[in-house]
Chains A and B, each alone.
Chain A
């Protein structure tokens, strides 16, 4: 696991798994990030975070590619949603409670000079109550998400 204070000039891919690990399926992002830690290609940085924070824009700006991994409240779904992201000044990127990947990409481009190609992998969850374990459905979807993220990272 990298911590985000590695050399900023590095041009590998970046994976940011974020969510609250005390709120059940909301922790799928960090769960996936930890699982990827030993599986990603050399030079890839993996961040495991509670929230998106503005300083991540610095790491994003120098990355070759970024994959955001988050949970989505979708109890009737079983497959991760994978979507392409564009920089977009929507939510306040300086507010960890409001920031979203598009705003963070916008911040990276506007203030730090770069916004690489980016994806959001949204993992469906059903139980966001208190607890440190994933529901069976979220655990299965997380396994699928890991495989899909590995494919994204393997693209040239």
Chain B
């Protein structure tokens, strides 16, 4: 007998970012919702699979940041096996993650966001794209491609391929670093650093011209969560402890073992989105809104621990955070560039470690715990993998809190703030193109990995609806 499965709501539009803007009785924007329309189901269909397969399966969640899932999954496996992986394996995993930070941040800044910065929010969408970017600043476009190539090469040289390499495994990594790859990466580092400097200088020059975006693209108080190093609370991307700070810089949680994440993070499912809404438990939902990712990582750390990146961090804090916490999501872009510099310097440091070419890269082990947690920083923020397994290592239950999900409440808040600022009236039933561009730009600050559809370049497939207090759709605009 056949079954009929109904997925509700049926109004969701596959492949589009769907946004609803609600007006009150006075016609003012009262709320906005950013609907995530994809349903992936990884947490469910991983059940029954061997834990050894989880890195390979969860890597398929994303083609941009598969390394994040591979590493978080491998760390979860380490926890289940209860093994301490060889020191060289830790360093190699770190290098791969830093390579991913470089390529992912380069993609976000140079390819996705630069057209907005260089061509303007009100420019013709037909020209506000990569072709416009190349015409306006070919040097930047060329440097961005080469920087992303560098990050991809780091991943490929370690993992054997650029996308979805099944290299990190519970207990370590499959292959050591070769001398040839070591030399190649070192040789290319100076050019990569020069590109980071180029982009930082460009962004700093245009800061004065982006005051309106800085003030309205997600500038609000919130908490910030991220990993920091166990000693000194330095910028961290792979291991360490969780720290929570507020917009005044107060440390609410410190030195928290990431395995205890569920003590501070809860998740709510909203009926309008497939993306869960994590929140800081002690404050409840939605007051416990927090942000993760580059902005948060630079807010929670004391410093980065490498000279060039620390100098950039100090300048960043002074320029856009009055010396302290940076609260505008527009500054995710700036933070990304500081992190590129941090990643490149860290790669260089790690490659000079005396044991970096060691072939002892994997520890053996068997199922020693029936539950494991692996936490790392993905380019977009803190990533949590949490598995329950049976005695044979088969998955019984999975919880994934992905980087973009952590920012869900903040993304909704950002869309609302932009709508409140840029929609003064829709009485004529028209939604201006400029609003679409800015909503898109506001979401893009977070570089969300909702689906590949949101990685569309230049313009994002999008449907925006404006709904009055009685529930009538006053205006709707769809852009494919």
Binding site for B on A (CB under 8 A): 3-5, 49-51, 53-55, 57-58, 89, 92-98, 107, 110-112
Contacts and interface: CB of A to CB of B under 8 A. Distances in A.
A39 B184 CA distance: 27
B131 A89 contact: yes
Nearest to A59: B149
Given A111-B145, A112-B142, A3 B130 contact: no
A57 B152 CA distance: 14
Contacts of B146: 55, 58
Nearest to B188: A5
19 contacts: A3-B153, A4-B153, A5-B156, A5-B184, A49-B162, A51-B63, A53-B152, A53-B162, A54-B148, A55-B148, A55-B149, A92-B457, A94-B130, A95-B455, A95-B457, A96-B63, A97-B452, A110-B134, A111-B134
Nearest to A97: B452
Nearest to A49: B162
B142 A111 contact: yes
Contacts of B149: 55, 58
Contact of B129 (A55, A58, A92, A107): A92
A92 B156 contact: no
Given A53-B162, A58-B149, 19 more contacts: A3-B153, A4-B153, A4-B156, A5-B153, A5-B157, A5-B184, A50-B63, A54-B145, A55-B152, A57-B145, A89-B131, A92-B129, A93-B130, A94-B130, A94-B145, A97-B452, A98-B456, A111-B134, A111-B142
Contacts of A92: 129-131, 457-458
Nearest to B141: A111
B157 A3 contact: yes
B386 interface: no
Nearest to A112: B142
Interface residues of B, number: 26
A53 B138 CA distance: 18
B291 interface: no
Interface string B317-336: 00000000000000000000
Contacts of A54: 111, 145, 148
B308 interface: no
Contacts of B164: 50
B191 to A, nearest CB: 12
A3 B161 CA distance: 8
Contacts of B157: 3, 5
| Closest CB pairs A-B (n = 6) | A55-B149, A94-B111, A111-B142, A95-B457, A94-B130, A5-B153
A95 B153 contact: no
Contacts of B475: none
Interface string B440-480: 00000000000010011110000000000000000000000
B301 interface: no
B400 interface: no
Contact of A55 (B145, B452, B456, B457): B145
A30 to B, nearest CB: 10
Interface string B117-150: 0000000000001110010001001100110110
Interface string B148-179: 11001100110000111000000000000000
Nearest to B164: A50
Interface string B409-438: 000000000000000000000000000000
Contacts of A93: 130
Contacts of A95: 111, 130, 455-457
A95 B157 CA distance: 23
A53 B161 CA distance: 13
A129 to B, nearest CB: 16
Nearest to A50: B163
